[in-house]
């Protein structure tokens, strides 16, 4: 299976004219499927800032800015798991524009990274997260893949303080490459890590991810990368990012769920 870490995505030009095709019906904020004239045959998701609902726990910054900042951090550290994303103007004003992985008009296989299985029947190579019940009363276990690229994504999520890593936000394309989407609620200076990828809690961070964290730490110490992020995030968020990266390197292990706030997003899938 292909892995995404360290495989730099091919350049994508997202600067062309945007043609809106339709709204993403299940999005909690205004988001549309669109075409960009400079992306032949491909689609994008465009999330205008003016369509964002205010969030009491993210009073500063924008969802769009955090979407783009997640891609920047993924690139700076060498995870390369967030699709090409830019902040730009569009038909509904400034917003984030991200390359759509796959076909927006075809069903997505959303069980390749996170899945539900009958309670206690965790497949080989997968990790159990928690047990629960379906609306019909069936006992199930939420599980996630133990693949190396998924483990690496868990480290990136810890670095950016992702408060909404659902299973459906982890995709594989036709080549098996892992992609991570929906990063609008990240980078808070207050600890908020909520994820379904807890299978490595307390285990050592792999040498490959120590290298990525070190690369990110060095990039954040340079003026160019910091200014790039300050154009997208409040200053306190950028400072907290650097502190989290250093803390992950100092401790050397995947974080544990906190007892002080919900550690799994709802719904988890």
pLDDT of residue 36: 95
pLDDT of residue 102: 86
Q: Which residues of the chain have pLDDT under 70?
A: 1-7, 9, 25, 109-110
Q: Decide if 213 contacts 181 (C-beta within 8 A).
A: no
In a domain, 193, yes or no: yes
In a domain, 221, yes or no: yes
In a domain, 113, yes or no: no
In a domain, 118, yes or no: no
pLDDT of residue 1: 38
pLDDT of residue 55: 85
In a domain, 158, yes or no: yes
Residue-number span of the structural domain to which 55 is assigned: 18-107+147-251
In a domain, 117, yes or no: no
For residue 265, what are the contacts with CB-CB under 8 A and spacing of at least 6? 163, 164, 165, 166, 194, 195, 196
Please tell me the distance from the alpha carbon of residue 269 to that of residue 258, in angstroms, as a whole number.
20
In a domain, 123, yes or no: no
pLDDT of residue 226: 93
Q: What is the pTM of this model?
A: 0.93
In a domain, 127, yes or no: no
153-177, pLDDT tens digit by residue? Answer: 999 999 999 999 999 999 999 899 9
Number of domains in the chain: 1
């Amino acid at each position: 299976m292909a892995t995404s870490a360290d495989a730099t995505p091919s350049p994508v030009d997202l600067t062309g004219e945007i043609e809106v095709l339709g709204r993403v019906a299940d999005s909690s904020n205004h988001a549309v499927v669109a075409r960009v004239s400079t992306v032949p045959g491909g689609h994008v998701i465009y999330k205008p800032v003016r369509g964002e609902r205010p969030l009491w726990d993210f009073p500063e910054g924008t969802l769009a800015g955090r979407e783009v900042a997640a891609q920047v951090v993924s690139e700076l550290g060498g995870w390369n798991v967030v699709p090409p994303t830019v902040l730009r103007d569009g038909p509904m004003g400034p917003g984030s524009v991200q390359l759509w992985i796959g076909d927006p008009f075809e069903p997505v296989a959303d069980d390749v990274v996170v899945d539900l299985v009958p309670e206690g029947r965790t497949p080989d190579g997968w990790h159990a997260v928690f047990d629960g019940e379906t609306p019909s009363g069936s006992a199930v276990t939420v599980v996630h893949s133990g693949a190396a690229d998924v483990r690496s994504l868990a480290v990136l999520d810890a670095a950016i303080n992702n408060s909404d890593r659902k299973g459906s936000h982890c995709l594989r394309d036709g080549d098996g490459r892992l992609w991570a989407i929906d990063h609008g609620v990240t980078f808070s200076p207050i600890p908020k890590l909520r994820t379904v990828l807890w299978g490595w809690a307390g285990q050592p961070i792999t040498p490959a991810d120590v290298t990525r964290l070190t690369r990110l730490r060095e990039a954040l110490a340079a003026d160019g990368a910091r200014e790039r992020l300050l154009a997208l995030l409040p200053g306190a968020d950028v400072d907290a990012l650097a502190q989290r990266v250093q803390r992950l390197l100092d401790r050397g292990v995947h974080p544990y769920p906190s007892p002080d706030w919900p550690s799994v997003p709802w719904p988890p899938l």
